[in-house]
Amino acid sequence: MKYEIKKGKKMKIGFIGFGNVSSTLASILKKEGHEIYTSSTNRSKKTKELINKIGAISLKDFNEVSKISEVVISANSPSKAIPIAKKYGKLSKNIFIDLNNISPDSTLEISNELGDKFLKGAIIGKINLNENFIFISGKNAEKISILRNSKLKIKILSESVSDASIIKTLRSIYTKGVSALLIETFKIAKEMNLEEELFETLELTEGELFKVKSLSRINNSILYSKRKYDELKDILEYLNKFNDLNEEKTDLILLKATLKAFKSIQD
C-alpha cells in the first residue's frame, strides 16, 4: 500500500466540532502549514484552550466555518453525523468529509443529499499524534490527497462513496469477532487456571504482542460493550439487506454469534 506524500498548496480546513479526533488532525495539519478553522462559541473552557494552543482560528459559528473552508471535516459522533452533514455540507462550496463511524446506508443518504462534494473517510485504528491511517472514498477523493503527510496516511479507496464505510464495517466484523472469541476462550482458561499458559502458547504463533493486544481488546470490549453491540446490530441489519439483494447469500454465523456474545457481556 502506498501512502505517497505529496507537497502541495496550503489549504483552509474547517472542523465542525473540536473533540479528540478533530483536534488531533487539526494539530497535525496546522504543523504542515494549513489554515485551521473552527468555532469556540458555546464550547467548554477546555475546548477553547485547545483551539488556542493548536493555533486554530475560531469563527462566530460553524456556518462561517463551512462557508470559508476549502475542506470541511466532520468528526463528531455517529448519531450526529447525518444532521451535521446535511446542514454544514450544504453550506460548503467545496469538499465535505465525514469521518464518523456510520453505516454504508447512512453514507449513501448523505451522498444523495450532497452529491460529489461529499467524501467518506474511515479512520483505521486509533487516532494519535504520530501516525494515522485514513481511508477515503468518493468521486473527488483525489482532491484531498495533498493533505497527506508522514503522520496522516491517506489511502484513496475508490470513487464509490460508500466503500470507506464498507471497509470499516468489514474490519469491525473481524475485530469484534476476535474480541468476543478472546473473551470466551480466556474465560474458560481462567476457570481451568491456565490463563497465563494460554497467553504464552498463543504468543508463540500469533506474535509477540499477542497478550498486550488481547488484554486491550478484552478490556475495551467489556468497557464499551453497549456501543459495540449497537454497532454490530447495525452491521447485521446492513448485511441482511445486502444478502436479500444478492443471489449469493453469506451465512452470517460468526457475526450473529458475536452480536449474541456482546449482548451477554452487556447484561
Q: Which residues bind its own copies (CB under 8 A)?
A: 1, 124-125, 133, 135, 155, 157, 163, 166-167, 170-171, 173-175, 177-178, 180-182, 184-185, 187-189, 191-192, 194, 197-198, 200-205, 207, 239, 242, 246, 248, 250-258, 260-261, 264
- Which C-beta is closer to its own copies: that of 16 or that of 123? 123
Q: Phi, psi (5° rounding) for residue 132?
A: -135, 140
- The distance of closest approach from Cβ of residue 185 to its own copies in the complex, given in angstroms and rounded to an integer, is 5
- The distance of closest approach from Cβ of residue 247 to its own copies in the complex, given in angstroms and rounded to an integer, is 10
- Which C-beta is closer to its own copies: that of 54 or that of 164? 164
Asked if 136 and 118 count as a contact pair (C-beta separation under 8 A), the reply is no
Closest-CA residue to 14 (of 35, 32, 31): 35
- The distance of closest approach from Cβ of residue 101 to its own copies in the complex, given in angstroms and rounded to an integer, is 14
- Which C-beta is closer to its own copies: that of 42 or that of 208? 208
Closest-CA residue to 99 (of 61, 143, 138): 138
- The distance of closest approach from Cβ of residue 222 to its own copies in the complex, given in angstroms and rounded to an integer, is 14
Residues 6+ apart with CB under 8 A from 138: 111, 116, 118, 119, 120, 159, 161, 164
- Which C-beta is closer to its own copies: that of 61 or that of 200? 200
CA 192, chain centre distance (Å): 38
Rounded CA separation 206/222 (Å): 22
- Which C-beta is closer to its own copies: that of 140 or that of 185? 185
- The distance of closest approach from Cβ of residue 74 to its own copies in the complex, given in angstroms and rounded to an integer, is 22
Whole-number Cα distances in Å, 80 to 11, 98, 167: 26, 11, 21
CA 69, chain centre distance (Å): 22
